[in-house]
């Protein structure tokens, strides 16, 4: 890692309550996690990439397709805790990206834009991605996270509710669960207890807003097809991969 400034971490756990074994579920002839890793490897500006897990089955599969793996504690309560554990060992990292292990259509260009934006503006401590959602029904769904952004491109609020509380008529964007952190801020963030808004919305990023840390929202051209349930995986399998 010496001399490498931008570290990507894909947190992966086996025991998800809604979909046990999800990272290793087959999709288009490969484990879903492999699709994420292959797309992450194509991100310009990402100088190191690690899969972080506490499960030997995931670790063995990841090493089998060529990934670097770091074992993390089974006590990690979230993906952010898992990437923070890796970041503590990587003192040379300047930026650390949380790349979700259930986003098999990760867009390398959108992630590269986030990296470029954070490198260009050292004042940005945390960043994420969002895009315009053209389908009102999709945007209103309670499993779709929305974000309202101010004129400077920073998040005012994230919510599963729609309309977004406090939006005052402003359009909401569809949030994409990719996060960039300054390493020092990530380690600080991971040590904070969950806040009231975070518990209410079940959205970890609100922990930063509640403490006055601004989150820069960079534009993505389209959604990434995430997978939360076996039904969503089956629909992706039937549809086939996008370019």
Q: What is the mean pLDDT of residues 151-169?
A: 91
Check if the beta carbon of residue 129 is closer than 8 Å to that of residue 223: no
Query: What is the Cα Rg of the chain in Å?
Result: 17
Helices (H), 42-106: 56-64, 79-89
Tens-place pLDDT, residues 73-115:
999 989 999 999 999 999 999 999 999 988 999 999 999 999 9
Tens-place pLDDT, residues 161-192:
998 988 877 899 999 999 999 999 999 999 99
Phi, psi of 49, rounded to the nearest 5 degrees:
-140, 130
- Cis amide prior to 154 (ω within 30 degrees): no
Q: How many C-beta neighbours within 10 Å does residue 25 have?
A: 18
pLDDT band at 243 (very low <50, low <70, confident <90, very high): low
Q: Which of 121-130, 151-160, 223-232 has the lowest mean pLDDT?
A: 223-232
Pairing label, strands 173-182, 146-149: antiparallel
- Rounded to an integer, what distance in angstroms lies between the CA atom of residue 191 and that of residue 211? 13
The pLDDT assigned to 3 comes to 42
The total number of residues written for the chain in this structure: 243
Check if the beta carbon of residue 179 is closer than 8 Å to that of residue 124: no
Q: Which helix (H) or strand (E) holds 128?
A: strand 126-131
- Rounded to an integer, what distance in angstroms lies between the CA atom of residue 10 and that of residue 37? 8
Unique residue bearing structure tokens 């390398």: 108
Unique residue bearing structure tokens 């998800």: 16
Pairing label, strands 26-27, 6-12: unpaired
Tens-place pLDDT, residues 8-42:
999 999 877 678 889 999 999 999 999 999 999 99
């Amino acid at each position: 890692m010496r001399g490498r400034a931008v570290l990507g971490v894909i947190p992966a756990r086996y025991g998800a309550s809604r979909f046990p074994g999800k990272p290793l579920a087959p999709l288009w002839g490969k484990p879903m996690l492999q699709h994420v890793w292959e797309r992450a490897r194509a991100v310009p500006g990402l100088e190191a990439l690690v899969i972080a897990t506490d499960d030997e089955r995931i670790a063995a599969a990841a090493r089998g397709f060529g990934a670097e793996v770091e074992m993390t504690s089974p006590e990690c309560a979230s993906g952010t805790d898992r990437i923070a554990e890796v970041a503590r060992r990587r003192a040379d990292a300047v930026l650390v990206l949380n790349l979700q292990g259930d986003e098999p259509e990760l867009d390398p260009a959108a992630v590269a834009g986030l990296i470029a934006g954070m490198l260009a503006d050292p004042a940005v401590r945390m960043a994420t991605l969002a895009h315009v959602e053209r389908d009102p029904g999709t945007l209103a769904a309670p499993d779709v996270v929305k974000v309202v952004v101010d004129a400077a491109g920073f998040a005012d609020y994230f919510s599963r509710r729609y309309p977004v509380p406090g939006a005052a008529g402003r359009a909401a964007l569809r949030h994409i669960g990719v996060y960039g952190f300054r390493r020092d801020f990530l380690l600080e963030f991971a040590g904070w207890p969950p806040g009231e808004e975070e518990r209410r919305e079940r959205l970890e990023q609100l922990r930063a807003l509640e403490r006055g840390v601004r989150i820069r929202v960079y534009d993505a051209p389209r959604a990434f097809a995430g997978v939360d349930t076996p039904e969503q995986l089956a629909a992706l399998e039937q549809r086939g991969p996008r370019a």
